[in-house]
Amino acid sequence: MSIKISMNGELVPKEDARISVFDHGLLYGDGIFEGIRVYGGKVFLLHDHIDRLYEGCGVIHLELPISKQQLCDDVRKTVAANGIEDGYIRLIVTRGSGDLGLDYRKSSNPQVIIIADTISLYSEELYEKGIPLVTASTIRNHPQAVNPRLKSLNYLNNILAKAEGILAGTIEAVMMNHKGEVAECTGDNIFIVKNNVLKTPPVDACILEGITRKTVMCLGEEAGYTVQERTMQRHDIYTADECFLTGTAAEVIPAISLDGCKIGTGEPGPVTNDLRERFQKFTRNFE
């Protein structure tokens, strides 16, 4: 059965889901997106994602032609239409069609696209054994260029860093910021554990303020761990007891080495495993 895509509130078969070649989302990466999970047929932390989407659109002067409530309803309708019990939603807002030029005022008819499908980012074996990391030479966007806090459609910065990881024989890479500090990975936020203290780079380290990151920080505090947002160097990862990544698609996945340097025992650690279990339990029981 062909999946159905929501195009501006109308469900159409994916074969008929089209945008104009003059859409500035295609021409210039001009737009905002969100990745959202579905667990047990329920959309996970939908309002958090919708709020962040609207904030991002406001920053780039893109006025959505739809209310937050209607957008939430359309997301749920798309999930139900595709019978998604456990899956992934890609919510996209493009600038719309315009001239071959950069003046956003000459674009019209923003496109709101909702895709709901299944996803398998990493194998279960990688969650059990952990993944190796490398440091990418491609740095995270400077905050005075395209602010990393925006989930913009222009993801070439991350794609190039991801390519470095793939060419080095792994699937994730650590990105530094313009100050030489650890920012995040190509698609996930990063945490380390040192003496049972959770540490993750702060928002001003050029990271995306991940919703899974925030959830894991709250779960860590509820479990009695000290959680700190701290500026981080690669040395801190090399000498950590544990390391793990968080993201909407990845959830919580352990990292066992960086640049060939073993992190801790070189295996997923007890705090990582504990937080992964707590996150999974939370996704099964959230309202």
Enzyme catalytic residues: 151
Tokens of 156: 């070439």
Please tell me the distance from the alpha carbon of residue 8 to that of residue 151, in angstroms, as a whole number.
Answer: 20
DSSP 8-state secondary structure symbol assigned to residue 13: E
* Strand stretches in 40-84, DSSP E: 42-43
Tokens of 84: 């998604």
Question: What angle (nearest 5°) sits at the alpha carbon of residue 130, between those of residues 150 and 232?
Answer: 50
List, in sequence order, every residue forming a beta bridge with 38; answer none if it has no partner: 43, 87
Please name which of 4, 180, 165 lies closest in space to residue 80, comparing C-alpha atoms: 4
Provide the sign of the torsion angle of the four alpha carbons 19, 159, 131, 92, taken in this order: negative
Pairing outcome for strands 226-229 and 197-200: parallel
Helix (H) and strand (E) counts for the chain?
Answer: 8, 15
Residues 169-172: contacts with CB within 8 Å, 24+ apart? Answer: 170/131, 170/132, 170/133, 170/134, 171/122, 171/126, 171/131, 172/131, 172/133, 172/245, 172/255
